[in-house]
């Protein structure tokens, strides 16, 4: 299954850059293609999980995962410069977080080797912080009440995804020490 997902994501990455008809600004599309390419490579190189999430954890994680795609779709073709910048900064953060995960990468909650270096030495979920910024950039592009609603909805959905993942990670013998050393989930000093 990982090979199929990996090859699919790599095809999306290439298609997003070369196929005509993409209705997003080039910087936004480049970030999306870059993330798809990295996700594809990570799917191809990761080992099996030590423990997969149960139905409850998958149900908690999926809405946050789907919200990002929904927000980008709603944003359409016209994005203010600030929205593009926020999306691209978030994309860069997500890319760095996912690259640091390496073979421990997962889209849905699963227990793999605990990563404690790079951006994971500052906050416990830097890739999710990047995703959150991307959603906020897309929400800004949507604008109005719908954009505000998407941006506000992202916060509890990311929190649910983090809680589901941390329940699984708690079984790792290094988790308690890591959690004591890296106290904040997304924003140092805040949460």
Kindly give the confidence (pLDDT) of every residue in the chain, 191 residues in length, as a single tens digit, with 9 standing for 90 and above.
778 877 887 887 788 777 766 788 889 999 999 999 999 999 899 888 888 888 888 888 899 989 999 999 999 899 999 999 999 999 999 999 999 999 999 888 888 889 999 999 999 999 999 999 999 999 999 999 999 999 999 999 999 999 999 998 999 999 999 999 999 999 888 88
Sign of the CA dihedral running 52, 54, 55, 60 = negative
Which is nearest to 55 in space by CA: 105, 4, 108? 108
Residue 114 lies in a domain: yes
**At 156, which helix (H) or strand (E)?**
helix 144-169
Number of domains in the chain: 1
Residue 67 lies in a domain: yes
Residue 142 lies in a domain: yes
Residue 127 lies in a domain: yes
Residue 119 lies in a domain: yes
Residue 25 lies in a domain: no
Residue 59 lies in a domain: yes
CA distance 10 to 6: 6
Distances (CA, A) of 147 to 37, 85, 176: 27, 16, 38
- Which structural domain, as residue segments, surrounds residue 63? 52-181
Residue 24 lies in a domain: no
CA distance 191 to 184: 5
Query: For residue 19, what are the contacts with CB-CB under 8 A and spacing of at least 6?
Result: none
């Amino acid at each position: 299954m990982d090979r199929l997902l990996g090859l699919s994501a790599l095809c999306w990455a290439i298609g997003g850059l070369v196929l005509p008809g993409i209705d997003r600004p080039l910087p936004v599309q480049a970030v999306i293609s870059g993330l798809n390419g990295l996700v594809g490579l990570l799917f191809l190189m990761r080992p099996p999980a030590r423990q997969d999430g149960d139905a409850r954890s998958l149900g908690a994680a999926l809405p946050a995962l789907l919200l990002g795609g929904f927000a980008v779709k709603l944003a359409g073709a016209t994005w203010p410069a600030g929205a593009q910048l926020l999306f691209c900064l978030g994309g860069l953060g997500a890319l760095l977080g996912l690259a640091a995960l390496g073979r421990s990468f997962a889209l849905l909650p699963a227990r793999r080797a605990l990563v404690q270096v790079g951006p994971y030495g500052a906050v416990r979920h830097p890739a999710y912080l990047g995703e959150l910024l991307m959603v906020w950039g897309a929400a800004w592009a949507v604008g109005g009440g719908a954009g505000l609603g998407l941006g506000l909805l992202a916060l509890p959905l990311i929190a649910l995804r983090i809680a589901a993942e941390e329940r699984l990670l708690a079984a790792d013998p290094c988790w308690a020490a890591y959690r004591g050393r890296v106290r904040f989930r997304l924003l140092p000093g805040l949460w």
